[in-house]
Amino acid sequence: MKYICLFLTAAVLGGCGKYNAVDTLSDAKSDSRDISLCGAGVDIDNRVGLIIRSEANKSGGELSASQRSKIQAAAVDAGILSANDNYETYVKCILELNKRRGATQTLSLLQRLQQPALKVWRQGYQGETSYIRRLVIENTGEELTELQVTKAPFLVVSERCPVGQAKKGDGKKCADLPIAYIPLANYYSSVTWVGAYKGELYSVDEAPHGMDDVVTRFAHDNAIPGTQALNNSLALLVRVRYKDKFQDMHERFFDVTFEQKEIDEDLGQALFANREKLLEADLVVDVREITVSRLAEVWSSLRHPDTELQSIWQRLERLRWEA
């Protein structure tokens, strides 16, 4: 009883308003929201509910009749509870909420622990006539269902800094050179679905079909004076959607250009939204029908991306080189 009185005194002195003392307790805001559900309409201070919950947690989630009476008397003495016929109903409500909260926390922990563990990566192997790279998705964690994979390959083209400017160290002009992120269609061959939900789930070969030779000619033909060729490289992004064993849907994004890098959801969504916008505008190069003239046409349209798009890609570049 003495301990309860001291606890109540601290709660009363901890703040000026009716609910201020809640903020001094662990997880106070969520506790207050829970407890206010029981107090609605019965005019019982949330601080009484906090003490009921605290005392119940010490005794395995239950309170004896004696414990309930002691809490009630101490609360009345502290001036935060008046004689109230609803007190026993209120106590039962708090204890029931406590049980449900414990069950929810247990489920939440299970959901965090029992999740798929995805590996999304490029694997190289020697084919009959050449070295081939393929995109592979593996799951070494808990089972998943409804797997959806969206691949987003880009050809990144940029101008080189002219030799004269490079020697002068004019870094600003070199940093502002045009750059384009060109979506590629049909960069991959047919997909292999393994049909399992653990282990290797999915693989697909990259099939550039002679793209490298065309890109090399384009880069030389469209170079600005004083440079040998345009810079060009690939950016390979992947979006993976699936349901976990609890039937929650997940959407995750990966950059697999060099090694697996998971991308923040907002960044991944922005990159894929930009790609969809370009596809709708037909600003895309089909790898199976790639020509120097088509590359030059799309390069001309995309070589000056807006500031927002540049900042999105720059954010991806920073992510790539983080340790």
Name the token pair of 248: 């929650």
At 86-120, the pLDDT tens digits run: 777 778 787 777 777 665 555 555 566 678 999 99
Using one digit for the tens of pLDDT, what is the confidence trace for 13-54? 333 333 222 222 233 444 555 666 676 556 678 888 788 888
CB 55 within 8 A of CB 47: no
In this prediction, residue 3 carries a pLDDT of: 45
pTM: 0.66
Q: Is the pLDDT of residue 265 over 70?
A: yes
Confidence of residue 271 (pLDDT cuts 50, 70, 90): very high
Rounded to whole angstroms, what are the CA distances from 60 to 56, 64, 72, 141? 6, 11, 20, 34
Mean pLDDT in the chain?
80
The yes-or-no verdict on residue 151 having pLDDT over 50 is: yes
E strand or H helix at 250, and its extent?
strand 249-255
Domain ranges of the chain: 2-113, 118-320
